[in-house]
């Protein structure tokens, strides 16, 4: 599966280069810069939080570069860490995590005084394809499939309520296929994969655009993509 992703990257890079020579620039637009600024603002405000104001959640929504980038822009988020979870092998890395049964996941650390667990899950579901159990956009396989990992029975109940609420809104033609699973050990990915959207902005922008993730979110949620219902914010 890793070789498939590498081939996809190569094809996308070649395609983007050709388009660039004709009429397209791969540099991030003003909205990309705005997204980076939002993440930086969240990081600054997070520096004042205490341990009592920190909780975390583990979610899977396909490529962890994209999940990390989106979740770092959510209100109340302190930090997002890319990693692996759900598999059988210990200390997985990017070469063997899929073989070991892990998914790419993001550990989201947030301030519960600024955003609720349910509110953050609602935001998360809006930024993935929750109808695809076989992968995510151009990335195929269980390692890219969506999931919510709960730590307590209350979180399990909350996650199912969020999914039920979104399902009844009929935003998607297909049923939601996001399993709610018991939390398992989280293994942090290498430094190369942390904040990839900041450190390798051009390649990330290419990958993001041609994966179809952004257009999917825009199609289904439009200007409401970043909106958390007031009843779920805290």
Stretch (H or E) spanning 217: helix 213-221
CB 39 within 8 A of CB 73: yes
Q: Taking the CA atoms of 29, 72, 158 and 147 in sequence, report the sign of the dihedral they define.
A: positive
Catalytic residue among 16, 22, 26, 63: 63
**63 carries an active-site annotation:** yes
155-161-174 Cα angle (round to 5): 125
Coil, strand or helix: which one is 104? Answer: strand
Q: How far apart are CA 179 and CA 15, in angstroms?
A: 35
Q: How far apart are CA 138 and CA 213, in angstroms?
A: 9
The beta-strand segments (E) located in 93-184 are: 103-110, 135-136, 139-140, 147-150, 180-182
CB 103 within 8 A of CB 147: yes
Residues with a known catalytic role: 63
């Amino acid at each position: 599966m890793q070789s498939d992703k590498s081939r996809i990257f190569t094809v996308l890079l070649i395609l983007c280069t050709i388009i660039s020579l004709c009429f397209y620039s791969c540099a991030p637009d003003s909205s990309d810069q705005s997204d980076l600024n939002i993440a930086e603002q969240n990081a600054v405000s997070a520096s004042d939080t205490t341990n009592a104001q920190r909780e975390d959640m583990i979610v899977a929504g396909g490529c962890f570069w994209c999940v990390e980038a989106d979740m770092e822009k959510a209100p109340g988020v302190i930090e997002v860490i890319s990693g692996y979870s759900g598999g059988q092998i210990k200390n997985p890395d990017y070469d063997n995590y899929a073989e070991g049964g892990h998914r790419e996941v993001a550990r989201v650390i947030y301030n519960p005084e600024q955003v609720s667990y349910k509110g953050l899950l609602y935001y998360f579901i809006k930024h993935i394809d929750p109808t695809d159990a076989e992968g995510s956009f151009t990335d195929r396989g269980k390692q890219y499939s969506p999931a919510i990992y709960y730590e307590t029975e209350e979180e399990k109940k909350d996650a199912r309520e969020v999914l039920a609420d979104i399902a009844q809104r009929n935003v998607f033609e297909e049923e939601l296929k996001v399993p709610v699973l018991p939390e398992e050990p989280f293994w942090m990915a290498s430094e190369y994969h942390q904040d990839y959207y900041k450190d390798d902005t051009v390649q990330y922008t290419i990958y993001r655009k041609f994966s179809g993730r952004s257009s999917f979110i825009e199609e289904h949620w439009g200007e409401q993509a970043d909106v958390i219902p007031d009843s779920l914010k805290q």
